[in-house]
C-alpha cells in the first residue's frame, strides 16, 4: 500500500552563511541560518519521507540541540530517512518538492539537486521532482528574508 507524507521547512536568510539547497551550493550573498547546513529542501523531503512511514519528524531524529548535528550536511538526514524506509522493506515511489524563494533563480541548479537527493535516498533521479516559485515580492520570502520548501513523498509499504 502506498503511503504519502508531507514536509515543510523554512529558514531565515543571513549574511555569512553558504546557501545550500538540495545538496547544491548556490552562489548568493546570503545563506540559510540553522543548526545544520540549513538545507530547507532536504529537510522538507526528509520530513515527507518520515511522515509517509508514520515516523516522528526530522527534529526527533536530529535535534537542533545536539552538537553532533552542528554544521553537518543535510544529506545525512536523508540517508537516515532512506534507512528507515529500508528497515520496513518499503520503497520510495517518488518525491515531489517545491522551493519558494524570491532570489536566487533556482532553475539552473535543479538537475544537480535531483542528483544529490536521489543519491542520498538511494533512488533514481527520475523519481525526484523539484520545482521553484517566488512569492511575487510578498511576505518574508518576497522581501528575501528567508526561503521555504515543501515536499510530498510516496512510499510503498508492504
Q: Which of the two residues, 102 and 61, has the higher pLDDT score?
A: 102
pLDDT tens digits along 6-44: 999 999 999 999 999 999 999 999 999 999 999 999 999
Query: Do 17 and 38 form a contact (C-beta atoms < 8 A)?
Result: yes
Whole-number CA gyration radius for the chain: 15
Q: What integer pLDDT is reported at residue 63 of this predicted model? A: 84
pLDDT tens digits along 100-110: 999 999 999 99
CATH node for 2-156: 3.30.1330.50
Domain limits, the chain: 2-156
Amino acid at each position: 500500500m502506498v503511503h504519502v507524507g508531507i514536509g515543510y521547512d523554512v529558514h531565515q536568510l543571513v549574511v555569512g552563511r553558504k546557501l545550500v539547497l538540495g545538496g547544491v551550493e548556490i552562489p548568493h550573498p546570503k545563506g540559510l541560518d540553522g543548526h545544520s547546513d540549513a538545507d530547507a529542501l532536504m529537510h522538507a523531503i526528509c520530513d515527507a519521507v518520515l511522515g509517509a512511514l508514520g515516523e516522528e519528524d526530522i527534529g526527533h531524529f536530529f535535534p537542533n540541540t545536539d552538537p553532533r548535528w552542528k554544521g553537518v550536511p543535510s544529506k545525512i538526514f536523508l540517508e537516515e530517512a532512506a534507512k528507515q524506509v529500508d528497515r520496513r522493506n518499503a520503497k520510495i515511489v517518488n518525491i515531489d518538492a517545491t522551493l519558494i524563494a524570491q532570489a536566487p533563480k533556482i532553475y539552473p541548479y535543479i538537475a544537480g539537486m535531483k542528483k544529490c537527493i536521489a543519491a542520498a535516498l538511494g533512488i533514481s533521479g527520475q523519481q525526484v521532482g523539484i520545482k521553484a516559485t517566488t512569492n511575487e515580492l510578498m511576505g518574508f520570502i518576497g522581501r528575501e528574508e528567508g526561503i521555504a520548501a515543501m515536499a510530498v513523498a510516496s512510499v510503498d509499504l508492504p
